[in-house]
């Protein structure tokens, strides 16, 4: 698939989908507490998105069984919600995607439940900052590698590592469109960024190394060394200036 440039009508649909995703994540953040099962978060996400007239885009994607991804502590992405009970001190990543009027929104946040210590707080700050750095680098006339490099520099300057085996992506009518948006790379390299490109930028950071392993369910991705991970994601539109964030609350 070629790199899609969206027109104003398509962008309006993506704004709508993005807003819905942001609203669902904000409800989930407000609902999260120790003692709840991760499946309860999935139920809330599905109920909220359907009430807004959207559809959860992860459900059924390559056989994925839920509407939401819930990845706890050393889990990075693609955690399937289930019987696991969230405990005080857990670091919980929530990744949610929705489709409305044929267009997709995709976003993720990481939340600390109760007190997880200083290190976890620093990791989340660095992951959030890395996303912001990546977004700021997404400008028409620049290169894709500008985004990747901004994310990597920000994460590593704070003493963390970026996960290399999973990336951000183009997004539009499909959840995953070209190009891949790696979280490491060199500025000034890669395809040129053009006004109207819509990208899901999603740094995943670990306290330890960047190597990953996939769980027995063939979905959940964890750090190979068991270290803590965090994930933040926004869907954005490239413009001539600061990009427009479609999944902002
Ligand atoms: N936001 C993730 C991604 O960009 C979620 C997709 S996982 C699946 O790949 F659950 F939908 F499969
Ligand atoms: Co994504």
pTM for the model: 0.97
pLDDT digits (tens, 9 = 90+) for 138-192: 999 999 999 999 999 999 999 999 999 999 999 999 999 999 999 999 999 999 9
Question: Residue 238 pLDDT more than 90?
Answer: yes
Q: What is the pLDDT of residue 249?
A: 75
Residue list, ligand 1 pocket, CB within 6 Å:
58, 61-62, 64, 69, 78, 95, 97, 106, 169, 200
The tokens for 69 are: 């991804």
- Ion ligand 2 nearby residues (CB, 5 A): 106, 200
Distance (Å, whole) CA 233 – CA 183: 11
Least distant ligand from the CA of 166: 1
CA of 17 to the centre of ligand 2 (A): 14
CA of 175 to the centre of ligand 1 (A): 8
CA of 108 to the centre of ligand 1 (A): 10
pLDDT digits (tens, 9 = 90+) for 105-148: 999 999 999 999 999 999 999 999 999 999 999 999 999 999 99
Write down the residue that tokens 């939340």 correspond to: 111
Residue nearest to atom 11 of ligand 1 (CA): 58
CA of 134 to the centre of ligand 2 (A): 14
CA of 59 to the centre of ligand 1 (A): 9
| Cβ contact 94:58 at 8 Å | no
pLDDT digits (tens, 9 = 90+) for 23-64: 999 999 999 999 999 999 999 999 999 999 999 999 999 999
Atom of ligand 1 nearest to the CA of 97: 1
The tokens for 102 are: 């044929």
């Amino acid at each position: 698939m070629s790199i899609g440039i969206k027109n104003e009508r398509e962008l309006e649909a993506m704004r709508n989908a993005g807003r819905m995703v942001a609203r669902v994540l904000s409800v989930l953040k407000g609902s999260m507490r120790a003692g709840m099962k991760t499946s309860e978060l999935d139920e809330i996400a599905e109920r909220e998105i359907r009430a807004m007239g959207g559809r959860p885009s992860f459900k059924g994607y390559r056989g994925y069984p839920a509407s939401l991804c819930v990845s706890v502590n050393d889990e990075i992405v693609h955690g399937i919600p289930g019987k696991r009970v969230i405990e005080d001190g857990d670091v919980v990543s929530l990744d949610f995607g929705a489709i409305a009027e044929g267009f997709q929104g995709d976003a993720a946040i990481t939340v600390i439940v109760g007190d997880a210590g200083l290190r976890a707080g620093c990791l989340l700050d660095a992951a959030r900052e890395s996303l912001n750095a990546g977004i700021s680098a997404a400008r028409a006339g620049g290169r894709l590698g500008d985004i990747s490099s901004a994310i990597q520099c920000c994460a590593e300057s704070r003493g963390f590592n970026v996960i290399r085996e999973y990336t951000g992506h183009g997004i539009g009518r499909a959840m995953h469109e070209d190009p891949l948006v790696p979280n490491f790379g060199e500025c000034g390299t890669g395809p040129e960024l053009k006004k109207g490109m819509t990208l899901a930028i999603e740094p995943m950071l670990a306290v330890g190394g960047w190597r990953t392993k996939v769980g027995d369910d063939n979905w959940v991705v964890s750090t190979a060394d068991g270290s803590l991970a965090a994930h933040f994601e926004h869907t954005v539109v490239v413009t001539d200036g600061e990009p427009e964030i479609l999944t902002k609350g």
